[in-house]
């Protein structure tokens, strides 16, 4: 009998052939009407373009207990919706980590927020630097051919060690006592943690962004609108993206207005925009750009497929870097520590420029918004930037125009697909230097193969924000030539860490590879 009960607990229905234009609220309403049960009894999980949905049921209203799922399955299978015949099948449900965690006999002890987001905050900064340098030097000795006398250059410290982070995603949720809060999660959903703590005591967030989060929190508490529940996938308020550049603040608040009338949503947003624009900090009105993002996505975070809708202010704000200016939009990639970024880019410039000729072409691979290429453009004949994300390319082109840089061009394409074509277009008498600044996991091995295959590439400067994940790239650049890895290997000449992330375990690593 116990096995049977446990089996029911882990079963769910999958409903097929749903018109993909319908969302969670429409599915719940249809199912509730068909089964003659309260809508609150229907728990639905459905992606925006899915033609299926996962259904489970819970007691609600007049439904005091849930019957065997076969009863509901038989009623749903064969039912018609908009002239489409539905199908329904029972299947074993994937356990919700939140439910599993809450069923533990011993509840998980939550970390304090600083331990979660800045795990080194109690460690003296000089010791943080020693730890990072030692760890990265050991990583290189393990993965790259170096001599016994190899020494990394001394790690470069961040000029700011607190309040340095210029981009934050604040979660709208509930604290450990169930009080509406805007801050950071105290753990991972997969570990059953959904509690959010206010960011007021964090060490890496600027005071103005903490104040903005508090401003939003006050409105959420008084709004009467539900906070998005990551378990049921229902609720209105989700998160806020906040950026700080040259003293100006940009914010984008993400909401889920599923099932609400368009007119009602517009009224809510209009009132909310007026409130957000009343934000002041130290006697100023720093909020220069405000957006709303509507999404029904199931994952937690900014939805890359949903547009940012400008509600007040300018579409972009500006970040000054050395003598250059860069426009910042909600989706723009820019290093989160501006003061240390100056040091990082000066280091990259040093590693690239010390043996250039007037004919050198710089390939800026994974170029993002073009910051590295534009910094180096005065020192080479021309720069070619390659990046997969179209929005980043749009920003890069606008940034080049903003700064009057004419010897730079950009291609929106996968690096592994573009690199051989780009190299073929460069005259054979022009030497090529490559800067690789890839995402956390490094680049596809085909990129390394293309770089090694091109004999005119004599230098690669590799910038890694996660050297452990990118270590295979270092290995492939320096390993002996094989049938699968054509072209002379590179050797590592220089290496240095630049600390862009004080109080955390993370650090940027800049490597210089050569071959004759």
pLDDT tens, position by position, 445-489: 988 998 998 888 889 999 999 999 999 999 999 999 898 899 999
DSSP structure class, residue 41: G
Give the tens place of pLDDT for each residue, 178-215: 999 999 988 765 555 678 999 999 999 999 999 999 99
pLDDT value at 146 more than 70? yes
Backbone angles phi, psi at 358, to 5 degrees: -70, -15
The answer to whether domain 125-158+337-514 and domain 167-315 are alike in fold is no
More confident residue, 249 or 10: 249
Alpha carbon distance 343, 160 (integer Å): 12
Helix boundaries (H) for 171-292: 207-223, 262-276
Instruction: Tell me the CA distances in angstroms from 96 to 99, 102, 263, 396, 493, one per residue in order.
Output: 5, 10, 35, 41, 49
- Decide: 194 and 109 in contact? Cβ < 8 Å: no
Residue 106, pLDDT > 60, answer no
**Is residue 505 marked as binding?**
no
237: β partners = 227, 255
Consult the annotation and say whether 387 binds a ligand: yes
- Domain range summary for the chain, segments of one domain joined by +: 2-94, 125-158+337-514, 167-315
Q: How far is CA 432 from CA 313, 405, 416, 454, 516, in A?
A: 42, 20, 17, 9, 13
| Burial classification of residue 222, based on how many CB atoms lie within 10 Å of its CB (0-12 exposed, 13-18 middle, 19 or more buried) | exposed
Work out the pLDDT band at 173, boundaries 50, 70, 90.
very high
Q: Which residues of 102-120 are buried (b: 16+ CB within 10 A; e: fewer)?
A: eeeeeeeeeeebbebbbeb
Residues designated catalytic: 465
| Residue 9 pLDDT greater than 60, yes or no | no
Assign a CATH topology to domain 2-94: Alpha-Beta Plaits (3.30.70)
Q: Does 338 show up as a binding residue in the annotation?
A: no
Pick the CATH number of 167-315 from 2.40.50.1070, 1.10.150.300, 3.40.50.2300, 3.40.50.20: 2.40.50.1070
- Tell me the mean pLDDT in the region 61-76: 86
Average pLDDT over residues 255-270: 93
- pLDDT, mean over the chain: 89
Q: What percent of the chain has pLDDT over 70?
A: 93
Domain 125-158+337-514 part of CATH 3.40.50.150: yes
Structure tokens at 488: 């002379």
Write the pLDDT tens digit of every residue in 364-398.
Answer: 999 989 999 999 999 999 999 999 888 889 999 99
């Amino acid at each position: 009998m116990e096995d049977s009960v446990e089996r029911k607990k882990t079963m769910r229905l999958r409903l097929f052939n749903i018109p993909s234009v319908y969302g969670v609220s429409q599915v719940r309403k249809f199912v509730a009407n068909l089964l003659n049960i309260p809508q609150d009894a229907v728990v639905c999980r459905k992606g925006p373009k899915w033609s299926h949905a996962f259904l489970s049921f819970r007691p609600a209203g007049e439904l005091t207990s849930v019957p065997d799922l076969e009863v509901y399955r038989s009623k749903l299978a064969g039912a018609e919706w908009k002239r489409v015949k539905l199908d329904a099948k029972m299947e074993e449900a994937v356990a919700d980590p939140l439910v599993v965690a809450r069923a533990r006999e011993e509840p998980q002890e939550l970390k304090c927020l600083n331990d979660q987001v800045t795990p080194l905050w109690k460690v003296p900064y000089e010791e943080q630097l020693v730890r990072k340098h030692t760890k990265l030097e050991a990583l290189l000795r393990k993965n790259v051919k170096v001599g016994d006398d190899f020494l990394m250059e001394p790690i470069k410290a961040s000029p700011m060690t607190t309040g340095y982070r210029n981009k934050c995603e604040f979660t709208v949720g509930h604290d450990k006592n169930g009080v509406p809060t805007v801050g950071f999660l105290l753990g991972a959903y997969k570990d059953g943690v959904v509690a959010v703590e206010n960011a007021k005591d964090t060490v890496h967030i600027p005071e103005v962004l903490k104040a903005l989060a508090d401003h939003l929190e006050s409105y959420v508490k008084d709004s009467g609108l539900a906070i998005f529940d990551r378990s049921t996938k229902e609720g209105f308020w989700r998160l806020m993206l906040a950026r700080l550049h040259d003293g100006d603040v940009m914010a984008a608040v993400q909401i889920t207005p599923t099932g609400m009338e368009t007119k009602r949503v517009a009224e809510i947003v209009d009132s909310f925009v007026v409130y957000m624009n009343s934000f002041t900090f130290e006697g100023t009105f720093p909020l220069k750009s405000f957006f709303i993002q509507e999404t029904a996505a199931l994952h937690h975070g900014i939805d890359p497929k949903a547009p940012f809708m400008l509600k007040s202010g300018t579409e972009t704000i500006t970040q000054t870097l050395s003598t250059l200016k860069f426009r910042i939009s909600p989706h723009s990639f820019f290093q989160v520590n501006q003061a240390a970024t100056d040091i990082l880019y000066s280091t990259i410039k040093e590693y690239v420029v010390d043996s250039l000729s007037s004919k050198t072409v710089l390939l800026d691979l994974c170029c993002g918004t073009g910051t590295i290429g534009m910094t180096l453009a005065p020192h080479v004949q021309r720069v070619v930037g390659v990046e997969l994300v179209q929005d980043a390319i749009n920003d890069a082109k606008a940034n080049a125009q903003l700064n009057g840089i004419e010897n730079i061009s950009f291609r929106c394409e996968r690096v592994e697909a573009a690199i051989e074509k780009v190299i073929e277009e460069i005259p054979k008498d022009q030497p090529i230097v490559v800067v690789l600044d890839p995402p956390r996991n490094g680049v596809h091995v085909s990129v390394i193969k293309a770089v090694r295959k091109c004999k005119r590439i004599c230098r690669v400067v590799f910038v890694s924000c996660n050297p452990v994940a990118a270590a295979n790239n270092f290995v492939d650049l320096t390993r002996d030539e094989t049938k699968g890895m054509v072209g002379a290997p590179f050797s590592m000449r220089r290496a240095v860490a630049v600390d862009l992330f004080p109080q955390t375990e993370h650090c940027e690593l800049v490597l210089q590879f050569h071959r004759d």
